[in-house]
Amino acid sequence: MSGVWKRSHARTSEAPPDERGGNRYVRPTATAPHSDSTVSPIQLASLSRPLIASCAEQCGLDVVITSKAFLERFPNMTIPGRTLLLEDALVSPQLIEKLSALALAWLMPTALLKRALGAHRIKPMAELVGSDTTKASPMDDLATVIFSSGSTGDPKGVMLSHFNVMSNISQVSQVFMLSGRDKILGILPFFHSFGFTAGLWLPAVQGVGVVFHPNPLDAQVIGGLVEKYKVTFLIATPTFLQAYMRRCTPENFGSLQYVLAGAEKLPERVASAFEDQFGIRPLEGYGCTECSPVVTVNARDFRAPGYRQVATKRGRIGHPLPGVAPVAMQQGRFAAETIEARLRRGTPKPFHYHDKGSLAVIGRSSAIAQIGRFKLHGYIAWLLWLFVHLMYIVEFSNRLIIFIRWGIQYVTFSRGARLITGQESEVRSQESE
């Protein structure tokens, strides 16, 4: 189902350059008032004084959250706006605060807890996906601005909404099917969208365990953390993987089930050497900050008696995440219209995704379909699925060939794709029964 990226388009604005100096992995975060008086965090790098001043002026910074350790490392740095030190904000909580948090977490029902925290005002992702994209929603509010240097040397502040981040989390979760038994190693910095989404918010949203460490190059400590806490999901860059191969033992990474590499090209020699040493092959993915950030990713092949679905290929960046293809098709037309409008010195219109509906086959001569408010199921939905898919195939000859193949498979009762609807634990319990 291709619903989760239906409005996940990012907006960009110019921002000061990112001069990566000093301690690379300690970054201050600033908050700026949004148009509706809400507060959005701004991810800052270790910039020079003029660049920080320029950034503060462009974004209208109000409060800067940092730490004493960072300021001591850069004593000449001037922080714009009001400063909130983490050491002051995270002082030892009082006993009554600890007891209140314990009571809320253990005793309060989930519905009441959401209401107490204000989360009841946010619609579930399933409802937001099918809603009108032109209507304002709290999920469309600005969640963060992450500063990154562009390929042309002109850095930009990438504005990501709550829907951008949440949709990407939903897409990645569909691919890897993480559960509460998994643990992620959070070593990527939060000023990078990869670490911000996968390391910070994915564990919180999906209820997955996470083990944090501030320095991803501290290989020996990281190897010990993976072994001690039985980490199952390692997210890193190829550069970091090479450091782990030099300092970590195969026993350290014995609990890993997935190793996902991104942010730079994964060389074949690095992937093969990592697999030879640790017995698990890194899966390469691709993304960018504007896409918050994952776009494509390799995954494990699915194997069953008489069936195999290939999910990874060496030297490739993988398959698009669920929901990427339909948006890419519409954004391709939007890009062409935007270029044409600029050539005519006109004003480009903002992009809005048009939901054409969802179709899925659930059995022989049976399918489900949802087009707007209309819902179909059974044989009629299956015929609709057949007709729509044939119409989207390019050229009549291709349509005819595929129609003949489908007809042969239907008559000979050939095996089709397998639909997995539950988590791994649910599937195992059903098989045991």
Are the C-beta atoms of 6 and 327 separated by less than 8 Å? yes
Q: What local confidence, expressed as pLDDT, does residue 220 receive?
A: 93
pLDDT tens per residue across span 109-121: 878 887 877 766 6
Phi, psi of 248, rounded to the nearest 5 degrees: -105, 155
Interval 135-149 mean pLDDT? 73
Interval 225-244 mean pLDDT? 95
Half-sphere exposure of 359 (CA within 13 A, CB side): 14
Q: What local confidence, expressed as pLDDT, does residue 288 receive?
A: 86
Q: What local confidence, expressed as pLDDT, does residue 246 receive?
A: 93
What whole-number distance in Å separates Cα of residue 363 and Cα of residue 385?
12
Distances (CA, A) of 241 to 20, 61, 189, 245, 258: 21, 36, 16, 6, 13
Would you say how long the chain is, in residues? 433
- Of 57-71, 242-256, 333-347, 399-413, which one has max mean pLDDT? 242-256
Q: What local confidence, expressed as pLDDT, does residue 85 receive?
A: 87
The yes-or-no verdict on residue 281 having pLDDT over 70 is yes
Domain positions in the chain: 1-158, 177-321, 323-356, 357-433
Strand, coil or helix: 421: coil
The yes-or-no verdict on residue 178 having pLDDT over 90 is no
Q: What local confidence, expressed as pLDDT, does residue 45 receive?
A: 53
Quick one: tokens of 245? 């191969």
Strand, coil or helix: 330: helix
Interval 230-251 mean pLDDT? 94
Q: What local confidence, expressed as pLDDT, does residue 361 receive?
A: 84
The yes-or-no verdict on residue 424 having pLDDT over 50 is no
One-letter amino acid of 71: L
Distances (CA, A) of 151 to 145, 156, 333: 18, 10, 24
Q: What is the DSSP string of 210-265?
A: EEE-S-TT-HHHHHHHHHHHT--EEEE-HHHHHHHHHH--TTTTTT-SEEEE-SS-
Phi, psi of 85, rounded to the nearest 5 degrees: -85, 135
pLDDT bin (cut points 50, 70, 90) of residue 224 is very high
Are the C-beta atoms of 266 and 284 separated by less than 8 Å? yes
Q: What local confidence, expressed as pLDDT, does residue 6 receive?
A: 37
40-54, 304-318, 381-395 — which is least confidently predicted? 40-54
Q: What local confidence, expressed as pLDDT, does residue 125 receive?
A: 54
Place of tokens 């098709």: 329
Q: What local confidence, expressed as pLDDT, does residue 258 receive?
A: 94
The yes-or-no verdict on residue 420 having pLDDT over 80 is no
pLDDT tens per residue across span 19-43: 333 333 334 454 444 434 445 565 5
Per-chain mean pLDDT for the chain: 78
Interval 46-74 mean pLDDT? 75
Is the sign of the CA dihedral 131, 133, 137, 139 positive or negative? Answer: positive
Strand, coil or helix: 334: helix
The yes-or-no verdict on residue 15 having pLDDT over 80 is no
The yes-or-no verdict on residue 131 having pLDDT over 70 is no
Q: What local confidence, expressed as pLDDT, does residue 360 receive?
A: 84
Place of tokens 């910070």: 200
The yes-or-no verdict on residue 94 having pLDDT over 60 is yes
Q: What local confidence, expressed as pLDDT, does residue 307 receive?
A: 74
pLDDT tens per residue across span 308-348: 788 888 888 888 888 887 888 888 888 888 998 888 888 88
Interval 194-222 mean pLDDT? 91
Q: What local confidence, expressed as pLDDT, does residue 13 receive?
A: 35
The yes-or-no verdict on residue 274 having pLDDT over 90 is yes
The yes-or-no verdict on residue 147 having pLDDT over 50 is yes
Are the C-beta atoms of 282 and 261 separated by less than 8 Å? yes
Q: What local confidence, expressed as pLDDT, does residue 88 receive?
A: 82
Q: What local confidence, expressed as pLDDT, does residue 21 receive?
A: 34
Q: What local confidence, expressed as pLDDT, does residue 400 receive?
A: 86
The yes-or-no verdict on residue 200 having pLDDT over 50 is yes
Higher per-residue pLDDT: 429 or 196: 196
Taking only Cα atoms into account, the Rg of the chain, rounded to an integer number of angstroms, comes to 24
> Strands of 82-85's sheet, edge to edge?
11-14, 156-161, 142-148, 39-43, 29-33, 63-66, 82-85
Higher per-residue pLDDT: 128 or 252: 252
Interval 398-405 mean pLDDT? 85
Question: Out of 3.40.50.12780, 3.90.1170.50, 2.40.110.20, 3.90.550.10, which CATH number does the structure's domain 177-321 have?
Answer: 3.40.50.12780
